[in-house]
Structure 1
Amino acid sequence: MMTGEERLSELHRRMKGLRKKRQSRMINAMGMVSTALFACLFIIIQHLGVGQFGTTTNLYSGSSLLYEEAGGYVLTAIVAFVVGTIVTVICVRKHNRDKENGEES
């Protein structure tokens, strides 16, 4: 027969396991979404890289991003994505560090 404290500790252990599973699923989902966004961005850049006479420009050069003077918009989008990714990583690390220290919010 389990005492009240044992049941409570078992409940906390199970809740911690469920939180870890949920977090793992969330991280996997975000990884898949990021990969899909990267693939879409690659396809869009590839389609925009077609030159004036149907020839393909060099996909890996900066000039392919300047098709029809859209370079500023593309650069802004890339910078915003990178900054968002960095902020997300910092927030997740801070959350994990706080969680390990017992400062759950």
Structure 2
Amino acid sequence: MSDWIDIGPLEAIAPRGARVVKTAFGCVAVFRTAKDEVYALDNACPHKQGPLAEGIVHGAKVTCPLHNWVFDLETGHAQGADEGQVATYPARVEEGRVLLDVEFLNNRTAA
């Protein structure tokens, strides 16, 4: 059974926006779609370490602000790139609060 950490209210993340959560091994970007779905990914694009939380959210995807790589928020896979993927982490909304899976965050490894 997983433990979940409350990172704040859903309303603190703008629709089609993101929030950065700092961990011991780097930052996680938590995204909110226009449909109020939440996703959590590593914040650094594997191409040039672009801050994905500053990217444009469209549907269930985010476009890196540096070189326009497009990542699927559910899988972390880059689209249209030779190779590229960022780690994803379980996230959910419960009673209007955004929760992240602590076990997955604790199991992150340094890049």
| TM bracket (short chain) | under 0.3
Normalised TM-score (structure 1): 0.21
- The structure whose residues are more often helix, as a share, is 1
Normalised TM-score (structure 2): 0.21
- The structure whose residues are more often strand, as a share, is 2
Higher RCO structure (Cα 8 Å, ≥6 apart): 2
Larger Rg: 1
